[in-house]
Structures are given as structure tokens and as C-alpha cells.
A and B are shown apart, each in its own frame.
Chain A
Amino acid sequence: MLKSKTFVKKTRSGGVLKVVREHYLRDDIWCGSEVCTECKQDSTVLQRDACIESSLCPYPHYLVPDTNVVLHQIDVLEDPVIRNVIILQTVLQEVRHRSAPVYKRLKDIIHEQGRHFYTFTNEHHRETFIEREPGESANDQNDRAIRVAVKWYSQHLKTPESGPDGLKVVLLTNDQGNKLKAEETGVVVYKFDEYIKSLIGNPELVDCLALSNDDKNEITSSKVLFPEHLPLSKVQAGIKSGSFLQGTFRASRDNYLEATVFVQGEGEDSTEVLIQGLQNLNRAVHQDVVAVQLLPKNQWVAPSSVVLQDDGAAKDDNVDEDEEEKVLTGALTETARRATGKVVGIIKRNWRPFCGMLNVSQIKESTRHLFTPADRRIPRIRIETRQASTLAGQRIMVAIDGWPKDSRYPNGHFVRSLGAAGEKDTEEEVLLLEHDVPHQAFSQAVLSFLPKMPWSITPEDMAQRQDLRHLTVCSVDPPGCTDIDDALHCRELENGKLEVGVHIADVSHFIRPGNALDKEAANRGTTVYLCGKRIDMVPELLSSNLCSLRSNVERFAFSCIWEMNHKAEILKTRFTKSVINSKASLTYAEAQMRIDDANKNDDITESLRGLNKLAKILKKKRIENGALTLSSLEVRFHMDSETHDPIDLQTKELMETNSMVEEFMLLANISVAQKIYEEFPESALLRKHPAPPPSNYDILIKAAKSKNVMIHTDSAKALADSLDGAKVDGFQYFNTLLRILATRCMMPAVYFCSGMDSDFHHYGLASPIYTHFTSPIRRYADIIVHRLLAVAISADGTYPDLMDKHKQSALCNNLNYRHKMSQYAQRSSVAFHTQLFFKTRGILNEKGFVLFVRKNAIIVLIPKFGLEGTVFFDSKDKASPNLVFDEEGPTLKVEQHTFHIFDQVKVTISLDDSNIQHQKIRMALIEPVIPGVSVPAPEAEPQAKKRKLDR
């Protein structure tokens, strides 16, 4: 049966278009229930015995949530207790339209087989299809569609033998009007919270309930604390006319009454608007997109330098906020004033579930408690829970439901508990969540696209690939590496030239464009390495087995093979899909030993020597070209094999073989970049590293000057040369320190699509073009590059998204974001393990160097641990010493002593765990001795040493 759906829509150019879609109704859509005998379905999803212990519905029942229930109560629906749910197509489509994250979560639940969620395509079912009636709004139509479907279900499932206690279908809605109408038609309907509260066996679910609109009113007093937000249409009009500015709200870390709104202007021209005071902040939360209105110039203020944290007991909503804000108004110098504004409307909320801890209310029986997020930029959230005593001391997740204008705090609900605070697993979970690293187990949909085991290479595969199994290929990686994505070989050809091959795991063979596995990998973007833990981008079967180029197994590879002369000049470049059989998986140290051991002369060692020789020439050439050798301290923890606690830490050592592998990876990346750019000038995925603006180098130049060393920063080459020449007698570490500083001056390297940008230069590598090709197991960018290259050499087909520069560019944005977040997560993980390490060590004193000088502190680097810490000279409880800061040096004079950059100091290191959410390493000065500032050398040190020996 054919119906048509008609609607009018506005086109981008302002025209009005009538759209008519054909809509086919069918009579072969089955109900999905085990009970049903009429439907000719192959398999059923909904169980016969659908029992959840509920005092409202003692009979077996299926649940049908309406759209708003799904949107707002997805946290509850995700609970495994909720089973046998019918998700109507109407609901699914509207959820998809309204919130992509909720839609994804819902789809994940539906895919989970144990949950018995069934999608019923009611809009294509002959009996449940409805047409829009005159005067009916789209929402009303959807509500009616849901009611009609529920009605149909309840009649459909009614069998002659089912009595009053037979299977029923229950509609869950929070809409009073909808509920009444449903009752009129004789459908069993409950409000969602009513139903959840009736679940006898699972009282804890009640805490997960998001507050619905009518509940919110009872919590708060009637006093209006905040100005009303303007409606979106007015906001948009205001932005168009220029009276409002649109920007991202960034709360201040140090002062909860202050924030900036970052307004993206045309090109480089971006401004920041300062927002101060509770009223002006007007319920905006960090990362929201907001509209701000500038205040008249005479009300502009300067950013306050006070650190202000919103702590203590829950403030009454009636509290006079003037009291809180008094602290803000300091002395105002004309120059310090900045553009100041107030938030008038919220364009897009960017709320996510936040990690943090509960402040249990002092009132014993109270069920309302405040929640303090781990991120200081997020305001405290009021939640309702009956399990406060169990949740105290745990890290929990809370989602914000709303922020009414008469409430001091946003209202939220408990999502789940992550575990006891301070424990390793809990903290790891927290840092993954806070850095938005997707780390759930791969869903069934994703896993379904993995190749079936046992997997073997078929003759068809062989026919499409070059057989390179006879070559002496080997891989060199850090110890313990299981995702080996590169292997190398080098051999002498008959013509006296050298053949060098870089073989990269052929991940794109297993991950086909557009399937769930591909989408998941594209979303994850990168594998995240934490201390002692790896969050894979692709399932383990691929990352550690089928793709990993392990020794003595046949693996698919994408090979880049050069013919070179002995001067390491490339004569020919060739790319091919291949099959290889690695002869050895070596660590850097093992490879180094083989090269150094004059007695070894086997094929592998010869190959390594050849590679090493070429690598040295390549590196020399690269450095002559002006590539930078920068430095940052990386630490490695020695982990206890059972407790996984760090026992010892050391800075990573670099061997010749490290740079050998690196050289060939760079070469492969550059060769591939050239090739794909040549083939696809519009849609090649490349990586660039912009040159930093000259002002970035100020600190480096000043610091070097203080030691009478000149640094030239006109070009990468000049910088590299002057860094090489920078030496101070008797100060061995100086060069490394300079390089560390230089690293901090750099801009981050980013992925981009060649059709969207004109500047391709990679500053750090001094290469005109660069991309990532060599680590497809752990980086999604490489998979795309593989696909492009495969198309370029006609080894594989293309697909539309690959050539779409806008889609490519959107992908790059995600990859850059994921890459950045993974680095932050990595750093936090190191920081956390450092804390764990110092927890067991007690107080240590160590030598360090001043890395930066600030107004009230110095930042000290401890080379032994690669640890950076701040020594504050002012504190809340003590009178601060006389501090004189000179920006030109920069130097800081504390009482009589002047600190310069690179000064050597001695500090004590200890763990400050006074705040369980924010443990940190505390450093205090021992040497130079400044009376009243430095602390005496602690005696705890020998004790700690002894403990170390005990182990």
C-alpha cells in the first residue's frame, strides 16, 4: 500500500520547497514477541516471561517509552534490570533527530542481545501508520502514533487464554496530556518515575532518574536568582545584528565567579569577553556555547587575581550573593580593564556526565546532596540520592538535568559509581572519562566485522599481493609491544644498489570503510597508552594478532620499497600490498646488541647494519636541512607485576636503533605524502606543523641570554644550529634544558585535508609535506592514508567519503581532538603514577633546575624523575615574603635571593593528599637557603631509601 508523506521545508537559499516522499505500508512487520502465534517471525526478541518485579505491574509486561522518556532517562534505561522494551520507530527517529549521543546509546542497548529491546517499525506497519491531521502539531502526531502502536500491541498480544494477569504492554510517558489521552483509549500507562519507584527489587534506580519539570519546582525556593535566558530566535537575531556575541564559555579554574567567553572572529581575529559574577554568568556551564552582551565600557573590570573556590556547605538559595561577590572587586587600574559582558542566552549546552565526589549533606535524613566535580570549572551540582552514605568517599558520575533560574546550583542525577576514590582503577576510569577517551568494550556490532577465526591467507589474497615472504624482514619496537605495525628490511641488489623496505601492517584490509568497526575506529581516532594500560582503537584480535607484524607468521602488509644507493639517495620508490613473514621481533636494545656484536653475521644482523648505516646518513641530511631535535623528558615506570603499582621510574633512554626506525618511518611518511598528494591534490590527508609565531620564542631567547647564549629563531635551521651550539661550561644539562624549553615554544602538529589548506609545511621535520602512514593499528589517520594510497596504486576501490574534502576535514578535526585528549590523558596518567610512586616513598629531596619563573613561584624540573613541580612563595596561612618580579629577566627576587631560569635548586618532594580529589606533588625549597622561605632538609630520606632496599 502506498502513501505519501508531504512536508514543506525551507531551503538554505531562503526558498520554500515542497517535499513528497513515498511511504510504503507493509503487512509483514512482526511484533517480535515470543507469545505471538500470528506473526511469521524467524526469531523473537521479547520474552514470554517478561517479569520485572514491580508493585504497579505484577503481571508480565513489555515497556514502551515515549521520546522524552528515552531522551531524559537513558541512564535508567541503560540499567540491565530494564528488559523487554519496545522501541518504536517514531521514538527512535525523533531521538536520533534530537540527540546524537543518546541515539547512539540507545542503539547500543538495542544491539545487546541480553536486554531484549525490540525496534518496531510502527510507521510502516499497515495498522499502526497514522496520517497527520489538520491542526495537529508534529509532536501531537508522534504522541498519537505511539498511542496507536501501544494500543495495537496490547490487542495483538491478547490471546484468549491470557486472563487479567496475562502479558500487557505498558506505555511510559512523563507527559500528563499524553497520559490522559492514553488512558482514554484503554492503554496501560504510567509516568516513568512512578514506574521506576515501583520496582521493588531495585530501589537504587530511583537515584538515576533525571528530574522532570514538575519535580524541579519543589526543590528550589521561589526566589528568582538569575535573569531569564532569551529564546533562541531572539538570540540568533541579536547575533546577526551584532548586539550579542556568540562564543564558547570557559569557566575559570581558579575563580568560580569568573569566566571568559571565547568569541571566534573572522580568521585570526578572535576576542575574549570577561564575565564576572554569578548574575552575569547566568547559569552557563564550562564549554557551553553562549550568547553574551557586552556591558557599557564604564562597567568593564579586570580579571581578578584571587583564587576563589565554591566550597563549604550548600548555600541557601536566598543568600545575598553580594556577599560572595564583594571579594571580586579589587583595585581597578585602567589598563587592566577588559571587555566585560554578561550571558544573555545559551545556544547549545555541552553537558556531559561529570566525574566527581559527593559532599554529604550535614542533615542526616536529607536526600539532597551537593556533588563536587573533579573539574574545577564545573559548578557543584545538586542531586537527590538515598545512598549518600555508601557514595561518600567514592568517585561517582553525575549528569546535569537542568538549571532553573531560581536555583543556586544546577540539578542533576546520579549516573553510576566508579569506585573508591584514590584507587588505581577508579582514578584511571576518571581520567579516561574526563579526557573524553572512548574506552568501553567494543560493541557486538563492531565485533561482528572482525574476520572469523581461525584466519588464514587464501590463494585469492595471495593473487592480489606481492609475495615478500622470502625477504629478511624484522621489526624493532619497545619492549612489551604487542601491536607491531612496522617492520623493515634492507638487502643489496645485484646491481650493487640497496633495496630498503618499510612494511606497515595492512589494517585497511580488515577495516572496510563505513562499517561499524570503521566508524568506531574513526571515532576513537587513536590508541591511548596509559602507564601499564592500553586503550585500543581497534579490537585486540586485530591490534595484537591479525594486523600485528609478529615474527614467523604470515601477515598482510602495505610495503613501501625504495631502491637507494649507498649515499642513501632514493633512486626508485614503489608501493605495494604484500604478504611478509617477519623473521624476528626485536626490542631496541636487542637490535642494538646485534649491530654492535661483531661476531654476528646472520641475515637479520646484516640487514640491521645496512639500515643503521643508511639511517645515519638520512638523519645527517635531515638535520642539515634544518630539522629540529627537540627534547622532552619521558619517564617509564617499572611496575610491580602483581599489584601494578609503580616500583621505580626512570627516564626513557634513546638508542641508535630508536632513531634508525624513526628515520625510515619519516622517510616512508614523506614518500607516501608526496604520492597521495600527487594523486589526490584535493583530498589527501596530510599532517602539518605550523611555524610558531616569533613571540613564542621570547622566553627561550631570554632564558638563553641569561647564560650569555644567543638563540636565533629566524628559521628552523637557524634554531637547530644555535641549539646545537648552545653550551655552557660546567653545566652539562643546559643543552637539554634549552631543548625542553624550545619544545614548549612549538605549535602542535595537526592533521588536515589538502583541499582545505594551502600551507603544508612541517616545521619540526623541515619537510615540505608530511603525513602519517606507519602506525595504522594505533592511529586512524594512517588508515585513511592507507586507503588513499591503495586507491592511488589501484590496489583497492575508493568510496565517496574518501574524496569529500569537507567530510575529510571534519574527520581531521576529530582526530586532532582525540590526539590532543589522548596526550592529556597520558600526561595525567603519568602524573597519577608519579603520585602513587611518591606516596610509597615519603618525602624525598632532589636536585632540580628552575624551568620558569612566575610572579609568585618558580617551576622546577627534576631531571631524575622527569617531574615538574611548582614551588610557591606565598601561601594562604603565612605572610608572604617580599617578592620582586622582573619580567625582563625574567627573574624573581625572594627576600635577598634572585632566581633566574636554569638556576640549580634543591627541593623536597612529597605528596599532598589533603584534598582527595586533587592529590598533587608538593615541592618545597631547601637550597638556596632563604630564611623564612626554605625548609630544612628532611630526615625522612634515608628511611625511604632503606625501604627501597628492602624490596
Chain B
Amino acid sequence: MATVQVSEAEKVYILHGIRDDLRVDGRGCEDYRHMEVETDVVSNTDGSAKVTLGHTAVLVGIKAEIGKPRPMVANEGYLEFFVDCSANATPEFEGRGGEELGTELSNTLYKVFNNQHSLDLKSLCISPGEHCWVLYVDVLLLQCDGNLYDSISVAIKAALFITKIPRVHISSDEEGGKEIELSDDPYDCMRLDVENVPCIVTLCKIGHRHVVDATLQEKACSVASLIISVTHKGIITCSRKVGRGSLDPESICEMIETGKRVGKALHPPLMKLLQQEESLGKKRQKVGFLG
């Protein structure tokens, strides 16, 4: 992971600031940096979104393909995650440098979505036991400036929101042979209900307090963080501790409470933004990667 060198004096400065609920860039402990979301940025995906948070930039593309349902859950589709740490983001990712982080991130994403609440997987089923939609969620890290988890989760939610899956129907003959038929209207699409898709909140333990959306400098001052994924109702779908250090039980409870509160508050403005963007339709000026 991208790291910065922070001197002892700086660390003390940051620590003291956080103790007084005033961070280096002027934020409070529970404030996010400025966040930008744009959807439908890659035309040959079924849904895509780009999120920048501070200088962190991630791109998520979703491709829907027809696959076979998993044997245990014959009437559900599934998601596949892949995180690509581009060497663009930081030179450390060059070669196979980003592989470990990529695996760690995608494993976390599997855990976050491994529940009944986040996405209605049954809607991805085409014919039970035979065909279902598999959503390949590809995450590309474009720039690392701390707090990858949160920005990835927001980007995934935005990309799932805009994902358009071509509507298919199964025609079967009297012999039981099944044929997938595709509508020839490109506007005839299925949309996903993303209301319950969780967002990840990373809480960084710095000194005795914890902060949301830590910058790289702040991160360098912390020994452990807790990531929790929260739905809009405040349900926690997953929590993990990352970092070398340990957390005492009391502060874990505190951090979970903060996480819930921050997470819950994250959803409504995001949804509002996404709906607003979509209502612009074709008139929307695309920003893309050059904006």
C-alpha cells in the first residue's frame, strides 16, 4: 500500500489536532473529503462509475454475462470481484506489486456482498439451475490517496445503480429444450435495485480517537483501522480489522457506532446524486477522464 514518510513532529501535530477534532486539512473527525461521482464512463461495460475522493481515484466497470448458477443456490445469480491495482496509482504496484493488495480488496468485497440483504441475487436468475446473470465487477485503482475501501464501495454502488442488463426471456418448446431469446431493443433493459447495497466506512484509530476517511499522512500515524460496511438502514454486513496494531474492545464498540452513523448518512446524498444524474439523460455533459 502506498505509504508516505511522516516525521515524528508531524505525527505529534496530527495526533494533537485529531484529539481536538481538527484535522490537518480542516475537517472534523467524521467528515469525508470532497467526493466526485460520475457514472456511465466506459461505454462498453454494462455499467460503470468513476469516483474520486481527495486524490484517490477508482473506476468500476460491471459486465453482465450469462453463466450457470452455483449448485447450492440454483435460483440466484452471483457477483465476481476483481481489483486491479494499476501501476498508474503508485509505482509500488508495478509488476506484481499490486497483486497482494488486489486480492485483499477483492476478498473483502466478497465478504461485504456475501449476504441476503445487499443485492437481490434472485433477480439475476434467468432459469433456475441453468442460466443466471453473473456480474463481473472490475475495480481499477487509478490513484491512491488513502481510503480505498470507501471510494471503491461508493463506486460499486454507483456502477450497480447504472447497470443495464439486457432483458432476456426463455422460450421453451414442448420437448423441454430451452432457448435464450434476446430483445432487439437496446433500451429494453433490466435495472438492479441498489438501495440496500452497503457502503464501506473505514475508521482509522489515531491516538485515542478515530477518524473517517484518513489521508495517507493520517494513516501513517495509525496502527489499526476497522472497516465496516453499512446499508442505508444502518445494518452492518461486514466488519474487519486491518493494520498491524490491536484495538481494545471498548473503542471497537465506539468505532462501530461512529461507522453506523457515518455510513447511514452517506447513502441518501449518494442516491440523490445518482438519480439526479440519470434524469439528465443524454443531455448530460460527460466529464470522463480528462475533466
Contact = CB atoms under 8 A, between A and B. Distances in A.
A133 B186 CA distance: 9
A132 B173 contact: no
Most buried by A among B46, B66, B168: B66
Interface in A129-147: 131-138
B177 A8 contact: no
Most buried by B among A4, A14, A16, A243: A16
B65 A15 contact: yes
Contact of B65 (A16, A131, A240): A16
Given A136-B185, A233-B171, A20 B43 contact: yes
Given A16-B66, A20-B43, A135 B174 contact: no
B187 A135 contact: yes
A237 interface: yes
A135 B183 CA distance: 11
B180 interface: yes
A6 B189 CA distance: 13
Contacts of A951: none
B43 A132 contact: no
B166 A18 contact: yes
Interface in A2-58: 4, 6-10, 14-16, 18-20
A136 B173 CA distance: 29
- Interface residues of chain A: helix, strand, loop or mixed (majority): mixed
Contacts of B173: 234, 237-238, 240-241
Contact of A6 (B43, B66, B184): B43
A854 B184 CA distance: 59
A132 B186 contact: yes
A439 to B, nearest CB: 40
Interface string B46-80: 10000000000000000111100000000000000
Contacts of A4: 43
B16 to A, nearest CB: 53
Contact of A16 (B168, B174, B187): B168
Contact of A241 (B177, B180, B282): B177
Contacts of A18: 44-46, 63, 166
A240 B184 CA distance: 23
Contacts of A15: 65-66
Contacts of B180: 10, 14, 16
B1 interface: no
B12 interface: no
B185 A135 contact: yes
Interface residues of B, number: 23
B4 interface: no
Contacts of B177: 237, 240-241
B43 A9 contact: no
Interface in B152-167: 166
B182 interface: yes
Interface in A87-141: 131-138
Interface in B130-187: 166, 168, 171, 173-175, 177, 179-180, 182, 184-187
A863 B179 CA distance: 62
A233 B186 CA distance: 22
B66 A14 contact: yes
A240 B182 CA distance: 19
A915 to B, nearest CB: 49
Nearest to B63: A18
Nearest to A8: B166
A492 to B, nearest CB: 71
Contacts of A131: 282
Contacts of B65: 15-16
Interface in B185-234: 185-187
Nearest to A6: B186
Contacts of A8: 166, 182, 186
B185 A137 contact: yes
A293 to B, nearest CB: 14
A18 B166 CA distance: 9
A943 to B, nearest CB: 72
B220 to A, nearest CB: 42
Contacts of B182: 8-10, 16
A16 B166 contact: yes
Given A4-B43, A16-B66, A240-B173, A134 B187 contact: yes
A679 to B, nearest CB: 42
Given A10-B180, A241-B177, A20 B44 contact: yes
Nearest to A240: B177
Nearest to B184: A138
B156 to A, nearest CB: 19
Nearest to B175: A241
Interface string A219-246: 0000000000000011001101101000
B239 to A, nearest CB: 36
B186 A137 contact: no
Contacts of A132: 186-187
Contacts of B166: 8, 16, 18
Contacts of B43: 4, 6, 20
Interface in B20-44: 43-44
Interface in A239-296: 240-241, 243
A6 B63 CA distance: 14
Contacts of B44: 18-20
Nearest to B126: A16
Most buried by B among A134, A135, A136: A134
Most buried by A among B45, B187, B282: B187
A682 B66 CA distance: 36
A135 B186 CA distance: 9
Nearest to B67: A15
Interface in A715-772: none
Contacts of B63: 18
A9 B185 CA distance: 11
A142 to B, nearest CB: 12
Interface string A360-385: 00000000000000000000000000
A10 B180 CA distance: 9
A622 to B, nearest CB: 56
A322 to B, nearest CB: 33
A14 B132 CA distance: 12
Nearest to A238: B173
A136 B186 CA distance: 9
A402 to B, nearest CB: 25
Contacts of B179: 237
Contacts of B175: 237, 240-241, 243
Contacts of B184: 137-138
A14 B131 CA distance: 10
Nearest to B45: A18
Contacts of B174: 237, 241
B285 to A, nearest CB: 14
Nearest to B187: A134
B169 to A, nearest CB: 12
Contacts of A240: 173, 175, 177
Interface of A: 4, 6-10, 14-16, 18-20, 131-138, 233-234, 237-238, 240-241, 243
Given A10-B182, A14-B180, A237-B175, 10 more contacts: A8-B166, A8-B186, A15-B66, A16-B64, A16-B180, A19-B44, A20-B43, A131-B282, A240-B177, A241-B174
19 contacts: A6-B43, A16-B66, A16-B166, A16-B168, A16-B180, A16-B182, A18-B63, A20-B44, A132-B187, A133-B187, A135-B187, A136-B185, A137-B184, A137-B185, A234-B173, A237-B173, A238-B173, A240-B175, A241-B174
When A and B form their complex, which 3 residue pairs have the shortest distance between CB atoms, in order from nearest?
Answer: A237-B173, A241-B175, A134-B187
